[in-house]
Amino acid sequence: MLSATPCNQLLKLPVLVVHFQEHQHRDPSISFLGFIYHHYAVNHADDGDSARDQQLPFQSHDDCGSFQLPLYLFPTFEPLAPHVVILQSEKPSFYSDSNLLATYLSAIWQPPQRA
């Protein structure tokens, strides 16, 4: 109720009570519900206090306005674990390892030579 009700209208509630007492002074048989029905439910005839009736809460449309703040709750955000792929690049070889090994071993096991 308070989100859509202007606060200045709620501040007029004491005027409602005082105006009810004024009506009750003129007509002691009127009940509070009858008073509310007379002022709010039907388009009542002018009973000589229309200026006072306009001071009642929710009778005039002064300072009408509404401010609504849209609220959107985002779903919980869970960051995904990064999927890391490591690619190992082989350096191009211009020779074969097997040829290097054969050359090295053949150089060691040669028969003695005359210098």
The answer to whether residue 11 sits within a structural domain is yes
Between 102 and 58, the higher pLDDT residue? 58
Binned at pLDDT 50, 70 and 90, residue 21 comes out as very high
The sign of the CA dihedral 53, 58, 59, 60 is positive
- At residue 110, does pLDDT exceed 80? no
Question: Residue 13 in contact with residue 55, Cβ under 8 Å?
Answer: no
The answer to whether residue 107 sits within a structural domain is no
The answer to whether residue 83 sits within a structural domain is no
Number of domains in the chain: 1
What does the CA dihedral 103, 104, 107, 108 come to, rounded to 10 degrees? -150
Structural domain boundaries, residue 27: 7-53
What is the value of pTM for the model shown?
0.47
pLDDT digits (tens, 9 = 90+) for 3-18: 556 777 788 889 899 9
> Which pLDDT does position 4 carry in this prediction?
59
pLDDT digits (tens, 9 = 90+) for 39-98: 888 877 677 778 888 888 887 665 556 667 777 777 777 777 777 777 776 766 665 555
Q: Distances in Å between the alpha carbon of 107 and those of 72, 104, 111?
A: 80, 5, 10
